[in-house]
Amino acid sequence: MVEEGSTLLRRMEICVAEAEKRSGKNAVNMQETFTVYLIETRPMDAVAEGRNPAPDSLWRRYSEFELLRNYLIVTYPYVVVPPLPEKRAEFVWHKLSADNMDPDFVERRRVGLENFLLRVASHPVLSNDKILYYFLTEEDGWKEAVYETGFQAKADSRLRALSATFRVRNPDKRFMEMKHYSDELQSHTSQLLRARARVADRLYGVYKVHGNYGRVFSEWSAIEKEMGDGLQSAGHHMDAYAASIDDILEEEEHYADQLKEYLSYAEALRAVCRKHELNQFELEMASQDLISKKQQREELATGIVRTFSFKGMTNKLFGQEAPEQREARLKLLEELIAEGEETVKDKTIECEEHVERAWVDMQRFKEQKDKDLQEALINYAVMQISMCKKGIQVWGNAKECFLKM
């Protein structure tokens, strides 16, 4: 998947091996229970050579992963940053616990966190980040290092800027299309996930209700001489049928998790497009500002008023100002214009660089998405086939029992 450069993942084997419960005091000095995850790393060359060194390891909690991700989003605004597994259980069907401490949820989160690290560590740009490296290798002091980068301030200002509504005159069409696509992706994956959860809930009901056959056949077989044995064993198969749905639906949760990853990815994609809009807007604003300042200079220099201004009016009414004052004003304007031109130059570069890099990463993302989701869909079909095979076996056995009745 990665052509150039050697990403972190090539040099280092990474996994999230375990999860554990811990107790501690939180930010408001209250006792709380939380889960920590063990990150293990080993140098790849050692593994390749067949040596089996003990891995380095450290413990991290979910909030630290969140911190890392926020840092990456702000630092690399042109990258579609891989998402974390969901903070809270969404699209829950009745049996699945919405409790963050539930062991199944924790296990699926562990897998999701590992997946996040693997994706980040194999990304051509993100994998070279130092903070990422410290996250994987330095248990203490990492948080301080992150905050020292000053990303928080950037994060806050970007958030403010993005939450304001603004109108962009000439956004890159491809980015607008991509943004529209990200909305569609988000909408459709969430509809699919919601519908799937409801189907899972109903299917669970169908299978479990068959368990009643087991009980009822058993009672009935007690009063029948000829049919008794056949009924009794058919009942056992019905119990097996009812029990089989648990594993089937647990496996399906992995499928749902794959879709959830791309639901979150849609948001990351959208963020890149929004950053473009922001860049473009700021560039347009800076350009606009520069133009108006230049116009002001022209008016001041030539005395010709092209645009209405209060100063112009007062000049007309009360007479022109003194030449010294005019000189001072002109000088200030020249400075502002020089600054403005720098700003426009910087913003233009920023905008173009972002567009160029983002486009590359969005293409990379698209290919990854198509591959991953096709694989997920295929796995889903394979799961369905496996479920059907179990069903055929159970009902075939039940039929044999009925025949013996």
Partner 1 sequence: MSGQTVPADFSGHMLDLDEDEDLEVFSKNISLEDGNPMPNSPGSMVNQYRLEDDEEQQDPNTKDLFITVDKPESHVTAIETFIMYRVITKTTRGEFDSSEYEVRRRYQDFMWLRSRLEENHPTLIVHPLPEKFVMKGMMDRFNNDFIETRRRALHRFLNKISEHPILSYSECLKVFLTAEDLTAHRKQGAGFLSRMGETMKAVANSVRGLKSRPEEFTVMQEYVEDFGNKMSSVDRVAQRIAKEQREYLDELKQYGPTYTQWAGFEEELGDPLKGVASCVDRCSKETEEQVCHLSEVLIPTLHEYVLCSETLKAVMRRRDNIQAEFEAKNEALISRKADQETLQEEVDGLADRLEQANNALKGDWSYWKNSMTTDLKSAFISTAEKNVDYYEKYIAVAVGFLTCTHVCHDKFGVCVNI
DSSP state of 98: -
Q: Nearer Cβ to partner 1, position 213 or 365? A: 213
Cα gap 232→217, rounded to integer Å: 6
- CB of 44: closest distance to partner 1 in angstroms? 21
Beta strands in 195-242 (DSSP E): none
Q: How far is CA 87 from CA 1, 110, 179, 195, 301, in A?
A: 29, 12, 24, 21, 61
Interface with partner 1, residue 3, by CB under 8 A: no
Among the listed residues 24, 42, 44, the one whose alpha carbon sits nearest the alpha carbon of residue 33: 24
Percent helix, strand, coil in the chain, to 5, is 70, 10, 20
Considering only 20, 184, 327, 356, the residue that binds partner 1 (CB under 8 A) is 184
Contact between 47 and 15 under an 8 Å Cβ cutoff? The reply is: no
DSSP code per residue over 226-283: SSHHHHHHHHHHHHHHHHHHHHHHHHHHHHHHHHHHHHHHHHHHHHHHHHHHHHHHHH
Among the listed residues 395, 373, 370, 91, the one whose alpha carbon sits nearest the alpha carbon of residue 253: 91
User: Count of CB atoms within 10 A of residue 145's CB?
Assistant: 14
- CB of 78: closest distance to partner 1 in angstroms? 23
Displacement of CA 36 from its chain's centroid (Å):
20
Interface with partner 1, residue 26, by CB under 8 A: no
Q: Nearer Cβ to partner 1, position 17 or 382? A: 382
Instruction: Say how many residues touch partner 1, by CB under 8 A.
Output: 53
- CB of 356: closest distance to partner 1 in angstroms? 23
- Tokens for 85? 């597994």
- CB of 253: closest distance to partner 1 in angstroms? 16
Applying the rule CB under 8 A, the residues between 341 and 370 that interact with partner 1 are: 369-370
Applying the rule CB under 8 A, the residues between 208 and 237 that interact with partner 1 are: 209-210, 212-213, 216-217, 219-220, 223, 226-227, 230, 234
Applying the rule CB under 8 A, the residues between 233 and 292 that interact with partner 1 are: 234
Residue type, 67: L
Q: Nearer Cβ to partner 1, position 61 or 390? A: 390
Three-state SS at 256:
helix
- CB of 261: closest distance to partner 1 in angstroms? 15
Considering only 33, 288, 325, 384, the residue that binds partner 1 (CB under 8 A) is 384
- CB of 99: closest distance to partner 1 in angstroms? 25
Name the residues that contact partner 1, by CB under 8 A.
181, 184-185, 188-189, 191-192, 195-196, 198-199, 201-203, 205-206, 209-210, 212-213, 216-217, 219-220, 223, 226-227, 230, 234, 369-371, 373-375, 377-378, 380-382, 384-385, 388-389, 391-392, 395-396, 398-399, 402-403, 405
